């Protein structure tokens, strides 16, 4: 069964997600739709790019990943579809949103500009390309249309890199629903024993949340393979009064 993942900043208060799904299902009624999230902060391309990067690896190589965080909708920004080296296809705006996830799956194999209006909805809105361009294109791809049929190949894109660490100095790149502070420091670069210094606090690692007392802070490697700062049974973001962009350092410690 063909599969399309969906990531947007549309929220759930309006009908935008439902309308985009309707446009997809009208073309590919048997497709399986997987909602990654529709709670990307409005127009926050960097946040959307990070969340897409965290989400795509578990899917099979034939998945189509549709991502729409598009402050440039209706402007001269291009619409793209990309095939990564693993085989997944990405559809979305040319604003950097797709690039970190494409790189995570082996890098770019082929990209095209979505210029062929035969694969769009007939009535095009200047404010809702998720429904009128990106959704229909993703549906046609799920139905087996070749990527190269959608428009001319391109090799030039708006770049976007996730925040880079400086050795063991990094920053918070995401605060999740639970208030866990996700950093940009990969778990595989951490010393065997370490202390995290953030906002005047020294946080020690623990094997899991239950290894510390309720309310206590701990550091651990989360599901994305990145160092996280958490607090048992509460929000580390609230305890530390920290948000995205907060700086931290990791110090090697004795056993």
- The 10s digit of each residue's pLDDT in 3-57 is 999 999 999 999 999 999 999 999 999 999 999 999 999 999 999 999 999 999 9
**Are residues 138 and 44 part of one domain?**
yes
**Are residues 120 and 9 part of one domain?**
yes
Instruction: Note the pLDDT of residue 10.
Output: 98
CATH number (domain holding residue 202): 2.40.30.90
**Are residues 28 and 111 part of one domain?**
yes
**Are residues 145 and 226 part of one domain?**
no
Residue 158 within any structural domain of the chain? no
Residue 153 has what DSSP assignment?
B
- The 10s digit of each residue's pLDDT in 217-250 is 999 999 999 999 999 999 999 999 999 999 999 9
Closest residue by Cα to residue 71 from 100, 98, 97, 103: 97
1 has a pLDDT exceeding 80: no
Average pLDDT value for residue range 63-70? 98
CA 67 – CA 86 distance, rounded (Å):
18
Region label for 211, one of left (φ > 0), alpha (ψ between -120 and 50) or beta (otherwise): alpha
**Are residues 73 and 19 part of one domain?**
yes
Closest residue by Cα to residue 83 from 119, 112, 46: 112
pTM exceeding 0.85: yes
**Are residues 31 and 124 part of one domain?**
yes
**Number of domains making up the chain:** 2
179 has a pLDDT exceeding 90: yes
CATH number (domain holding residue 35): 3.40.50.10790
Q: What is the mean pLDDT of the chain?
A: 97
**Are residues 246 and 217 part of one domain?**
yes
Asked if residue 56 lies in contact with residue 37, where contact means CB atoms within 8 angstroms, the answer is no
| Phi and psi torsions of 70, nearest 5° | -140, 70
Residue 11 CB contacts under 8 Å (≥ 6 apart), including other chains: 17, 38, 39, 42
CA 180 – CA 97 distance, rounded (Å):
23
Q: How confident is the model at residue 174 (pLDDT cuts 50, 70, 90)?
A: very high
The whole domain housing 96 covers 3-149
Residue 51 within any structural domain of the chain? yes
């Amino acid at each position: 069964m063909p599969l399309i993942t969906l990531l947007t900043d549309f929220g759930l208060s309006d009908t935008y997600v439902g309308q985009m799904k309707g446009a997809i299902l009208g073309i590919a009624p048997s497709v399986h739709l997987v909602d990654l999230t529709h709670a990307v902060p409005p127009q926050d391309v960097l946040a959307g790019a990070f969340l897409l990067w965290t989400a795509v690896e578990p899917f099979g190589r034939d998945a189509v990943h549709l991502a729409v965080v598009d402050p440039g909708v209706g402007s001269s920004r291009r619409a793209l579809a990309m095939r990564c080296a693993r085989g997944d296809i990405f559809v979305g705006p040319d604003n950097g949103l797709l690039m970190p996830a494409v790189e995570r799956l082996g890098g770019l194999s082929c990209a095209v500009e979505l210029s062929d209006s035969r694969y769009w909805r007939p009535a095009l809105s200047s404010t809702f390309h998720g429904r009128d361009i990106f959704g229909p294109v993703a549906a046609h791809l799920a139905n087996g249309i070749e990527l190269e049929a959608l428009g001319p190949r391109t090799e030039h894109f708006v770049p976007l890199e996730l925040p880079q660490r400086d050795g063991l100095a990094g920053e918070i790149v995401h605060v999740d629903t639970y208030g866990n502070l996700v950093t940009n420091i990969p778990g595989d670069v951490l010393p065997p024993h370490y202390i995290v210094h953030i906002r005047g606090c020294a946080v020690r690692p623990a094997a899991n949340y239950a290894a510390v007392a309720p309310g206590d802070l701990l550091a651990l490697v989360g599901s994305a393979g990145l160092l996280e700062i958490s607090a048992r049974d509460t929000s580390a973001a609230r305890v530390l009064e920290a948000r995205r962009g907060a700086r931290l350092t990791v110090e090697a410690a004795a056993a």
